[in-house]
Amino acid sequence: MHAIPIYRQDGAHPQAHACAACEVRSTALFGVLDDAGLDRIHTQIASMTLEPDAVVYDRGTAGLAVFTIREGLVRFERSSEHGDRRIVRIAGRGDLIGQEALLHRPYADDAVACTQVHLCRIPRALVDQLTLGRDALPRELMLRWQRALDAAEAWVSDLSTGPARRRLLHLLQRLAGHAGPDSTIWLPRREEIGAMLDMTVETASRLVSTLRREGVLTLAPGRSAVLDRAALRKALLAEGAA
């Protein structure tokens, strides 16, 4: 690890400034690149902002780019042949999404913004080009793949197992991981909770209300809420004991 700035700050291109100011640059995909590789990339990376429920990409589309999440949450959806839709994973700040594009494969899920999202769009060709000859980048890529795989498996074991209340508590715990230090989390719509945890909106609503009455959760305006982390831990512990 070096203390050298990862992205060069002397470029004239506007994106150079954006990269230099990027809050996640130390953990981002190109964190391993040196100056030699970095001069070329600013002009090809586009910074984008999406509003909640905006689509990043559609399942089945031939992808030409991967995306780094600079800020916000993105959910991955699949709908079965039966028509019902299920959220299979979420990704947050610092995560790389749409990696299947690098393999010239169609996107595997619908990717949709949960909150307002700031993304960097990285063309496939750029990664291909940087990958040749180097071996730090492939390793970095594989690391991200493994992270995604781990998240997907954890989704099965935490959010798709056991009674509804426990699944919701696990979801809150996970959302807390994406929260600021003030414990203000993004709280999904009831319908979205349903799609994440495979339950109806009514059940989701009942459970959220119960947790609110128990003091685990305090609703805040605009799809957000404040968590009592201690109470959440206690509630999760009580689940296990039973």
Partner DNA sequence: CGAGCCGTTGAGGGGATTCAAGCTCAGTGG
Partner DNA sequence: CCACTGAGCTTGAATCCCCTCAACGGCTCG
**Residue 149 contact among DNA, its own copies, none, beta carbon within 5 to 8 Å by kind:** its own copies
Q: Where are the beta strands (DSSP E) in the chain?
A: 46-50, 55-57, 65-71, 74-79, 85-91, 96-97, 110-113, 117-123, 184-186, 217-220, 224-227
Q: Which is nearer to its own copies, 7 or 107 (CB)?
A: 107
- Residue 86 lies near DNA (rule: CB under 7 A): no
Kindly state the smallest distance separating residue 89's Cβ from its own copies, in Å: 6
Q: Is 196 in the site for DNA (CB under 7 A)?
A: no
Q: Which of 23, 35, 150, 191 binds DNA (CB under 7 A)?
A: 191
* Beta carbon nearer to its own copies, 118 or 194: 194
- Binding interface with its own copies (CB under 8 A): 76, 78, 80-84, 86, 88-89, 99-100, 102-103, 105, 108-109, 131-133, 135, 138-139, 141-143, 145-146, 148-150, 152-158, 160-162, 166, 198, 239-240
Among the listed residues 116, 210, 128, 120, the one whose alpha carbon sits nearest the alpha carbon of residue 163: 210
d(CA 87, CA 111): 10
The contacts of residue 50 (CB under 8 Å, 6+ apart) are: 56, 72, 113, 116, 117, 119
